[in-house]
């Protein structure tokens, strides 16, 4: 069962008080964060409006959607939207994906030039279209290539470089410990591990023994990811693995307040009271921000999935999701959403 050397440059920068602090809960490179609760980079999910909302709800660090190393797409409208940052989000952390060391290094430099303050490398995505290009979790089968990519990116930019992986390609090839040691030797500043292999996709339950073993074997910060769906689960995973932080992915769908819950539970051992009205208002604000960010043409389509997740949380047996998905204008969606909130 599979169960970096971090580079610090200059003054320690705090991302909650705006000044240098002597000791704080979590550090990556020269940056310190307000807590140990991070939002995972998720394609089609972690756009600017959602990252901003999760940061406001207590996420210590959020990551952009995955960016390709293909230079042909860097300047497209889609890429510009994915890279859009806002000062209220905190640190500008951008995730990149690819398989060529030179292209990855160049992509990192371009993103830093655009304002990225941290580069995260994706070696965990299980999607077939990504793996077919030998990117994402497919790279776990090529440790030598992993080493070349990590070294190329770390040496190309003057910001912290982090890595996100799975425990291995499949049950018989769990090599997260080997990859972690390569990452540490390459100068990677922190490592996130999703407690599943690529073959597992998102099925079954995440396992944390692999993450625990890696934490005990390397000195760089380890971030535990996989099935962090409640404050109690976040505390269990932190305690069990000894990880330096937890990363919330699907647990944040329709539930951005999970960061507030985890933060309070870790600090005081109790859950905050978040009223149905407060949750409803967060949903409304999120969808309003989505429409403003994407515009009339795209906003209504992107809003549908988020509203579906919110409705499942707020009123699981409601038929409102079906009604909402039939609406195709900003005004129709917002009016329907306001009426839905009044009915709760």
Q: In the numeric block, which tokens belong to residue 199?
A: 């073959």
Local structure of 51: helix, strand or coil = helix
Going from the C-alpha of 109 to that of each of 71, 96, 161, 171, the distances in angstroms are: 12, 11, 11, 35
Residue 295 C-alpha from the chain's centroid: 24
Q: Are 30 and 160 in contact (CB under 8 A)?
A: yes
Q: Are 161 and 153 in contact (CB under 8 A)?
A: yes
Q: What is the largest CA-CA distance in the chain?
A: 58
| Nearest Cα to Cα of residue 93 among 137, 39, 53 | 39
Strand (E) or helix (H) holding 205: none
Which sign does the torsion angle of CA 112, 115, 118, 123 carry? negative
Q: Are 49 and 290 in contact (CB under 8 A)?
A: yes
* Entry field: residues in the chain: 344
Is-catalytic flag, 125? yes
The number of beta carbons lying within 10 Å of the beta carbon of residue 322 is 10
Of the candidates 2, 20, 54, 125, the residue annotated as catalytic is 125
The number of beta carbons lying within 10 Å of the beta carbon of residue 173 is 14
Going from the C-alpha of 12 to that of each of 30, 112, 342, the distances in angstroms are: 5, 19, 46
Q: Catalytic residue numbers?
A: 125
């Amino acid at each position: 069962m599979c169960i970096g050397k971090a580079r610090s440059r200059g003054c320690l920068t705090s991302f909650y008080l705006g000044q240098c602090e002597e000791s704080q809960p979590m550090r990556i490179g020269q940056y310190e964060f307000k807590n140990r609760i991070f939002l995972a980079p998720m394609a089609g999910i972690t756009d600017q409006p959602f990252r901003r909302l999760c940061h406001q709800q207590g996420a210590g660090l959020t990551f952009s959607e995955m960016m390709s190393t293909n230079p042909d797409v860097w300047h497209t409208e889609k890429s510009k939207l994915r890279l859009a940052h806002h000062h209220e989000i905190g640190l500008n952390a951008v995730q990149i994906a690819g398989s060529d060391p030179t292209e990855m290094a160049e992509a990192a430099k371009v993103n830093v030039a655009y304002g990225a303050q941290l580069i995260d490398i994706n070696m965990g995505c299980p999607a077939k279209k990504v793996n077919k290009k030998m990117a994402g979790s497919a790279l776990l089968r090529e440790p030598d290539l992993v080493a070349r990519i990590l070294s190329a990116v770390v040496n190309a930019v003057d910001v912290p470089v982090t890595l996100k992986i799975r425990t291995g390609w499949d049950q018989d090839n769990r090599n997260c410990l080997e990859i972690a040691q390569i990452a540490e030797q390459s100068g990677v500043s922190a490592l996130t591990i999703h407690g599943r292999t690529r073959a597992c996709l998102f099925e079954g339950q995440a396992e944390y023994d692999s993450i625990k073993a890696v934490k005990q074997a390397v000195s760089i910060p380890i971030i535990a990811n996989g099935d962090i769906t409640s404050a109690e689960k976040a505390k269990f995973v932190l305690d069990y693995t000894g990880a330096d932080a937890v990363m919330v992915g699907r647990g944040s769908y329709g539930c951005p307040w999970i960061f507030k819950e985890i933060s309070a539970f870790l600090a005081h051992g109790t859950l905050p009271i978040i009223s149905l009205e407060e949750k409803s208002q967060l949903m409304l604000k999120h969808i309003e921000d989505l429409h403003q960010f994407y515009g009339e043409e795209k906003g209504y389509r992107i809003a549908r999935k988020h509203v579906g997740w919110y409705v499942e949380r707020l009123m699981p047996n409601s038929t409102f999701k079906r009604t909402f998905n039939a609406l195709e204008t900003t005004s129709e969606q917002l009016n329907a959403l306001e009426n839905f909130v009044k009915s709760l």
